[in-house]
Amino acid sequence: MSDTVADPTRTLAMREAVTEALAEAMEENPDIILLGQDIGKYGGTFGVYRGLYERFGPDRIREGPLCESATVGFGTGLAISGMRAVVEISFMDFSTVAMDQIVNQAAKLHYFTAGKLKVPMLIRSTVTSRLGLGSQHSQSLEAWFMHIPGIKVAIPSGATDALGLMRTALRDDNLVYFIENSGLYAEEEEVPTEYYEIPFGSARVVRPGTDATVVALSSMVPIAVAAAEQLEEEGVSVEIVDPRTLSPLDMDTICESVGKTGRAVVTHDAHGTAGPGSEIVARIQEQAFDSLDGPVLRVCGEDIPLPAGLSVSKILPDEAKLIESIRTLVEKNW
Amino acid sequence: MSDTVADPTRTLAMREAVTEALAEAMEENPDIILLGQDIGKYGGTFGVYRGLYERFGPDRIREGPLCESATVGFGTGLAISGMRAVVEISFMDFSTVAMDQIVNQAAKLHYFTAGKLKVPMLIRSTVTSRLGLGSQHSQSLEAWFMHIPGIKVAIPSGATDALGLMRTALRDDNLVYFIENSGLYAEEEEVPTEYYEIPFGSARVVRPGTDATVVALSSMVPIAVAAAEQLEEEGVSVEIVDPRTLSPLDMDTICESVGKTGRAVVTHDAHGTAGPGSEIVARIQEQAFDSLDGPVLRVCGEDIPLPAGLSVSKILPDEAKLIESIRTLVEKNW
Amino acid sequence: MPDEANGDSLSPEGEVELYFKMCLIRAVEEHVVSAASIGLVPGSTHVSIGQEAITVGACSALDPKDLMLATYRGHGAFLANGGDIKELMAEIMLREPGCCAGKGGTMHLSDPEHGTLLTSAIVASQIPIAGGVALGCKLRNTGQVVMTFFGDGAACEGEFFETMNMAKIWNIPLVMVCENNGYALATPISKSQATPDIADRAKGFDMPAEIVDGNDVIEVRNAVARAVNRARSDGGPTLIECKTVRYGMHSTRSPGYYDNKEDANAWRDVDPIPRFRAALIEREVALPAALEEAEARAKMEALDAREFAQAAPLTSIETIRANVFAE
Amino acid sequence: MPDEANGDSLSPEGEVELYFKMCLIRAVEEHVVSAASIGLVPGSTHVSIGQEAITVGACSALDPKDLMLATYRGHGAFLANGGDIKELMAEIMLREPGCCAGKGGTMHLSDPEHGTLLTSAIVASQIPIAGGVALGCKLRNTGQVVMTFFGDGAACEGEFFETMNMAKIWNIPLVMVCENNGYALATPISKSQATPDIADRAKGFDMPAEIVDGNDVIEVRNAVARAVNRARSDGGPTLIECKTVRYGMHSTRSPGYYDNKEDANAWRDVDPIPRFRAALIEREVALPAALEEAEARAKMEALDAREFAQAAPLTSIETIRANVFAE
Ligand SMILES: Cc1ncc(C[n+]2csc(CCOP(=O)(O)OP(=O)(O)O)c2C)c(N)n1
Ligand SMILES: Cc1ncc(C[n+]2csc(CCOP(=O)(O)OP(=O)(O)O)c2C)c(N)n1
Ligand SMILES: [Mg+2]
Ligand SMILES: [Mg+2]
């Protein structure tokens, strides 16, 4: 028997983590109302709400007509009337239908009323970048929301983070956009049994390393881990950092890592151009220029609308592309 | 008399340049239809359409109800039916109401029909970042559209460029988002009398210099010129590059400049975080890392919703902030 | 709140109070126009001159606990709903003591204490938000009714319809008051509406709707009172279309468009203030002197407020940087 | 195009051709379901089984030059409008010879040559686009009529209303065909509609509307023919609501939700294909043998197409990278 007793854990898939955090918060806070389409007995397009309707009934699991814009507006109205709204926009692509309500209303009411109104609202969307559902059902649009002050953006890469971040989100008095990649839903992790929250703006060092830093988002985190394991065998030691929230963005952890490794690659499914990685790259070179042995590289979705079919993965980042990019950085003398 | 005869020019304000390019194209191409609110006898919220209704009549200057989403949808429908649509979304902030039609439909139809459909459509918006109209009437959202493949983004900083870019836009068979800052409308320039077009993806060196490169967008271009003149007196020589289009983005011209100066500052009104500058910074350090003497800095709108009133300028970039940033770069040894 | 209200249910003092409020709004708006003309209201401001009967009549049918959301043309609604005139003026002139600390400006007012939650500058955007507030009130059984104002232009935006559908399905206590002033900026309703009556739009949702003369404060009050009663007794939402005539311009920045000078001046012929004054005198509710006194008092209050605002400090950069996020 | 069309205006061959088309769609959709079940249609696909009478009846009322836009549940509309079955199957299976080179997939079909402009996967988004196409046809005097299909769920989205308003104001040749199958994914119309009839929504715009039995191909055809006639003679837009029953699931990925097994199977009781077969026999339009022959031919064509598609090459990376911008 070892000296230290490991904290007890249990196995949880990311989908279950989201469901659990929602159920827990609804149990505790009767003012939480869920709004959206198909969230009742059906349990949501991705099954994230399964069981909630039975537990909390139709008033609180409020299934409504197919109109995302007014649905978000109703959520904002609930939020400013003293409730806490959770609004489902099933696929992130459909946020386009509700952008005014998200960006001009919910994100700004607290500001332009000088704090008189608060908007405790969480919007949840699933990103299906790798399911091959075609150009209108595949987009990772987190960069848009990072760009808008007044929105917090959480983007977990697994069950542990999803649970902790969702708990935090459901206590935050601001608009939070919570982004889940469907490819991670079934992934299981050992999750602490004890209650914990994960504060926004705290990145996680997924894996320590010394030769290069990979800043990875969402579904790229497990892929980055695989790439790092492969490179380990070649003697290249890769540190992986998952920012977990894009707004706020924990540059301290990222820069600390880059300070150590001198090399950085940023990777995500979203299109590279004006994607979340552009901001991360811009900040790394602003804040850690002296540490850099070479440019910060990006391994991102190509600037092509996402086609239907599984070939979509060919224009998304993968292990091989990431390895190649890290090798370039490590091998080339800049 | 000098040896070379200067090309003949005439004086034109940016607003007139836009109107002229539209009128000229409509004269030449009977299939161009303008759609939007208040574009008839009134001439548009910013007067850009003045005189067009009288010249082209209500069928082609098609004033309609207040519903931006369906208006863009109608524009797309016109475009795929063989016409060319010009759609007015008066303030850029209102694009939020039509994002699905812009991003999921107009930008992607050509792609996902494998080229069977074409969407020759131009969307025009005015940005009123410095008018103090408040959080919902001030936003510079160009980064959102840069992020989406299938959209071209033009953002002129004066009459000459507006005329040449608009002419190109009105011949392009793709969706073009044309962004005009209201602060530039009355600014006059000497414009060539001869017909010319400005191809997309060709940046302009506004002013040559050797010590630092400023990449400036839209209303920041004249402010950057003023800053450069000020710095000139202190012996710092600043080169200013105006990309003119963000998608496509002419990195060759930008990197050539940075190759010469070794220092770069990117400046725009849009919020800094995940703004257009993030991408420009990311690409400069990717493509010209070896030339850089220090980090690429940004002088952008703060990450704060834009308040009403003229104090809005305090959270936007200005000459002083730009000068300070350039000085930091030039003075500090990295 | 008047019960199946009509003019008679109001005391004479009550009617004079309505008159006073209309005069107050008028006086404030005239100061706003004049302040704007000398650069004290940069940008643009949309006054509600000529539409005072709607906001005053409608808000008079609410209980103090009820909630209201309005548009960028919201000064009148703010005052009609009991908002502080000095906070309003200071907000319009972008001063620290403004109701939104001078960060919202003319288009963004908020005064939850008196039931005014917000005014929004994106046309129609406040309609679903009002729906959500009404849903919240229903879920918490607060007995509150929620009212939202919007224009004829807003009635073209999809959210208006989406909200009617949801409001009817969920049977929420929502009163939707359309101020149909005949124009959306430069677009007359003939170019923006499939039928001239916005009230028609409720038909497809089996939602009760009424058309009233928006320049008759008592008629507006009565119609809204019926809708408020319906909402309060769990009878669901109502659409009320108030026909009125726009005050010769859209905003101080955007004049709007009229085919001729007569159209631009048409509002004067139906100006709700002289009309209500005449009715009060004819119905012997008040003597001309009492009404003159009310008008004079309104002008004085408005002037005071303007002077207060002009003397107040402009919003500081610290204030501007605050409130991006709630703590 | 049938003139004030009814079943009689069709020749017996014409009626059998409708029957054949319905069988063809059914056979194709059954292949799609089976192909999906073995992983040949990754992601999700929405079949139109049980709704064949709507697409076939409606498209049969169009002229070849007319234009049509549909939804992600669009295989039936594509075929009914004359699209090539092999190109369809190849598209659904993401192959190079697909109508969109295998980049659009099941939800994004296009075949302008036969008048099918596009199918869209964002609910309701194709409705205003169809309006714009109709406006283009009107402006260029082409005499074309434009038809768009959409579901009951789409009738909750603002763009549906915005388009009705614009279509009526501009009097464009648009035929709006709502396939009301009672559900939007897992949401029954009782939870999503203020009144059970989508046709009610046209009232507010003074737009002609009709409700038809969507499982009766001739009734659909006749109603659409009246609307097409109206549109073609500059009489403006029409809304047609076709009542039908969804085929026991939303898509191969999302089953949807039914309260009980009977609801999920309800479509079988009103299946439009056996019903039309019985009617044709009863009216002595065709002998059972002829109909059996048509059905067999449909199955053969569908099988051929599936085999063609399965043998065709998957879309190449070069094709995937193409067409981001038009040259
Ligand atoms: C979504 C949106 N589109 C356009 C505008 C610009 N705009 C401001 S007010 C207005 C007219 C609105 O008309 P109406 O709803 O009738 O209200 P009114 O101004 O007559 O009170 C327009 C077009 C806006 N603020 N929001
Ligand atoms: C804007 C938008 N919201 C949600 C979805 C997800 N979704 C796809 S189909 C569907 C149901 C649509 O129902 P209906 O319009 O009745 O068409 P049906 O599927 O019954 O043919 C939903 C919610 C979507 N594609 N687009
Ligand atoms: Mg109006
Ligand atoms: Mg349906």
A88 within 8 A of A37, measured Cβ to Cβ: yes
Q: How far is the CA of D121 from the centre of ligand 2 (A)?
A: 8
| CA distance linking residue A70 with residue D157, whole number of Å | 9
SS3 per-residue string spanning chain A: CCCCCCCCEEEEEHHHHHHHHHHHHHHHCCCEEEEECCCCCCCCCCCCCCCHHHHHHHHHEEECCCCHHHHHHHHHHHHHCCCEEEEEEEEHHHHHHHHHHHHHHHCCHHHHCCCCCCCCEEEEEEECCCCCECCCCCCCCHHHHHCCCCEEEECCCCHHHHHHHHHHHCCCCCEEEEEEEHHHCCCEEEEECCCCCCCCCCCEEEECCCCEEEEECCCHHHHHHHHHHHHHHCCCCEEEEECCEEECCCHHHHHHHHHHHCCEEEEEEEECCCCHHHHHHHHHHHHCHHHCCCCCEEEEECCCCCCECHHHHHHCCCHHHHHHHHHHHHHCCC
Tens of pLDDT along D190-222?
999 999 999 999 999 999 999 999 999 999 999
pLDDT of residue B6: 75
Length of chain B counted residue by residue: 334
Q: How far is the CA of C184 from the centre of ligand 1 (A)?
A: 6
pLDDT of residue D205: 98
- Residues 6 or more apart whose Cβ sits within 8 Å of residue B330: B211, B212, B236, B263
Residue B334: pLDDT over 90: no
Chain A: give the shortest CA distance to residue D193, in Å: 7
* Residue owning tokens 């019926």: C226
Q: Does C173 touch chain A (CB under 8 A)?
A: no
For residue B44, the ligand closest to its alpha carbon is 1
Residue to mutate among C45, C103, C315, with most B CBs inside 10 A, is: C103
Q: In this prediction, does ipTM exceed 0.95?
A: yes
Residue B325 DSSP label: H
Residue D306: pLDDT over 80: yes
Q: How far is the CA of D71 from the centre of ligand 2 (A)?
A: 9
To test ligand 1's pocket by mutation, which of B66, B93, B136, B139 has the most ligand atoms within 8 angstroms of CB?
B66
The region, left, alpha or beta by phi > 0 then psi within -120 to 50, assigned to residue B36 is left
| CA distance linking residue D64 with residue D58, whole number of Å | 13
Chain C: give the shortest CA distance to residue B99, in Å: 14
Chain B: give the shortest CA distance to residue C102, in Å: 7
Chain B residue at shortest CA distance from D131: B74
pLDDT of residue D81: 98
- Residues 6 or more apart whose Cβ sits within 8 Å of residue D8: none
Tens of pLDDT along A151-181?
999 999 999 999 999 999 999 999 999 999 9
Residue A1: pLDDT over 50: no
For residue C123, the ligand closest to its alpha carbon is 1
D20 C-beta closer than 6 A to ligand 2: no
Q: What is the DSSP string of D252-306?
A: SS-----SSHHHHHHHHHT-HHHHHHHHHHHTTSS-HHHHHHHHHHHHHHHHHHH
Q: Which of B82, B83, B113 sits opposite D100 (nearest CB)?
A: B113
pLDDT of residue D43: 87
The region, left, alpha or beta by phi > 0 then psi within -120 to 50, assigned to residue D103 is alpha
pLDDT of residue B102: 98
In angstroms, the Cα distances linking B297 to A289, B95, B216, B323, C20 are 11, 29, 12, 12, 58
Chain C: give the shortest CA distance to residue D250, in Å: 23
Q: Which helix (H) or strand (E) holds D50?
A: none
| Chains touching B, CB cut-off 8 Å, 3+ pairs | A, C, D
Determine which residue's CA is closest to atom 4 belonging to ligand 2. D123
Q: Identify all chain C residues contacting B135, using CB atoms and an 8 Å cutoff.
A: 104, 108
State which ligand 1 atom lies nearest to the alpha carbon of C151.
15
pLDDT of residue D5: 44
Judge: D135–B74 Cβ closer than 8 Å, yes or no: yes
Q: How far is the CA of B123 from the centre of ligand 1 (A)?
A: 19
Query: Residues of B numbered 150-209 whose beta carbons fall under 8 angstroms of chain A's beta carbons: which are they?
Result: 150
C31 C-beta closer than 6 A to ligand 1: no
Of A120, A121, A119, which is closest to residue A109 (Cα–Cα)? A119
| CA distance linking residue D175 with residue D164, whole number of Å | 10
Tens of pLDDT along B79-129?
999 999 999 999 999 999 999 999 999 999 999 999 999 999 999 999 999
Judge: D194–C165 Cβ closer than 8 Å, yes or no: yes
Q: Does D153 touch chain A (CB under 8 A)?
A: yes
Beta strand pairing call for D209-213 and D238-243: parallel
Q: Among the options B16, B63, B68, B239, which is catalytic?
A: B68
Structure tokens at B125: 């918006």
To test ligand 1's pocket by mutation, which of C177, C185, C190, C242 has the most ligand atoms within 8 angstroms of CB?
C185
Chain B residue at shortest CA distance from A296: B286
Chain A residue at shortest CA distance from D151: A66
Q: Among the options A16, A20, A63, A68, which is catalytic?
A: A68
D154 C-beta closer than 6 A to ligand 2: yes
Tens of pLDDT along D143-188?
999 999 999 999 999 999 999 999 999 999 999 999 999 999 999 9
Residue B1: pLDDT over 80: no
pLDDT of residue D8: 53
Of B230, B146, B162, which is closest to residue B196 (Cα–Cα)? B162
pLDDT of residue A6: 75
CA angle, corner C235, sides to C234 and C240, nearest 5? 125
Structure tokens at A49: 């709400």
pLDDT of residue D190: 96
| Catalytic-residue membership of B268 | no
- Residues 6 or more apart whose Cβ sits within 8 Å of residue C217: C18, C22, C52, C53, C56, C57, C60, C272, C276
| CA distance linking residue D155 with residue D134, whole number of Å | 19
| Catalytic-residue membership of B319 | no
Q: Residues B258-273, buried b or exposed e (16+ Cβ, 10 A)? A: bebbbbbbbbbbbbbb
| CA distance linking residue A316 with residue C322, whole number of Å | 39
Q: Which of B63, B135, B304 sits opposite C191 (nearest CB)?
A: B63
Residue to mutate among D32, D88, D103, D317, with most A CBs inside 10 A, is: D103
Q: Does C321 touch chain A (CB under 8 A)?
A: no
Judge: B104–A93 Cβ closer than 8 Å, yes or no: yes
**Average pLDDT taken over every residue of chain A:** 97
What average pLDDT score do residues D287-295 get? 98
Whether omega before C237 lies within 30 degrees of 0, making that bond cis, reads: no
pLDDT category of residue D314 using cuts at 50, 70 and 90 = very high
pLDDT of residue C9: 81
Tens of pLDDT along A284-311?
999 999 999 999 999 999 999 999 999 9
- Residues 6 or more apart whose Cβ sits within 8 Å of residue C302: C24, C27, C28, C30, C31, C85
Query: In chain A, pLDDT over 90 holds for what percent of residues?
Result: 97
Q: In what order do the strands lie in the sheet with A151-154?
A: A61-63, A32-36, A84-91, A121-127, A175-181, A151-154, A245-247
As separate numbers, helices (DSSP H) first and strands (DSSP E) second, chain C gives 12, 8
**Average pLDDT taken over every residue of chain D:** 96
Ranges of residues in chain C whose predicted pLDDT is under 70: 1-8
Beta strand pairing call for B121-127 and B84-91: parallel
Q: How far is the CA of D291 from the centre of ligand 1 (A)?
A: 59
In this structure, the dihedral spanned by the alpha carbons of residues D183, D189, D192 and D198, taken in order and rounded to 10 degrees, is: 110
D50 C-beta closer than 6 A to ligand 2: no
Residue B294: pLDDT over 50: yes
Judge: A134–D105 Cβ closer than 8 Å, yes or no: yes
C183 C-beta closer than 6 A to ligand 1: yes
Chain B: give the shortest CA distance to residue D122, in Å: 8
Q: Which helix (H) or strand (E) holds D168?
A: helix D158-170
Q: Residues A218-241, buried b or exposed e (16+ Cβ, 10 A)? A: bbbbbbbbebbebbeeeebbbbbb
| CA distance linking residue C30 with residue C299, whole number of Å | 10
- Residues 6 or more apart whose Cβ sits within 8 Å of residue A228: A207, A209, A214, A238, A240
Tens of pLDDT along D225-239?
999 999 999 999 999
Beta strand pairing call for A297-301 and A188-192: unpaired
What average pLDDT score do residues D262-283 get? 96
Of A327, C80, A137, C320, which is closest to residue B315 (Cα–Cα)? C320
Chain C residue at shortest CA distance from B136: C121
Structure tokens at A183: 């490819």
C236 C-beta closer than 6 A to ligand 1: no
B156 within 8 A of B187, measured Cβ to Cβ: no
Q: Identify all chain A residues contacting B297, using CB atoms and an 8 Å cutoff.
A: 286
pLDDT of residue B7: 84
pLDDT of residue A30: 97
Residue D308: pLDDT over 90: yes
D183 C-beta closer than 6 A to ligand 2: yes
Tens of pLDDT along A33-61?
999 999 999 999 999 999 999 999 999 99
B89 within 8 A of B68, measured Cβ to Cβ: yes
Q: Does C191 touch chain B (CB under 8 A)?
A: yes
- Quote the radius of gyration of chain A (alpha carbons, Å): 20
Other C-beta atoms closer than 10 Å to the C-beta of A151 total: 23
Q: How far is the CA of D245 from the centre of ligand 4 (A)?
A: 9
Q: How far is the CA of C184 from the centre of ligand 3 (A)?
A: 4
Chain B residue at shortest CA distance from D105: B112
pLDDT category of residue B4 using cuts at 50, 70 and 90 = low
To test ligand 2's pocket by mutation, which of D29, D49, D123 has the most ligand atoms within 8 angstroms of CB?
D123
Determine which residue's CA is closest to atom 13 belonging to ligand 2. D184
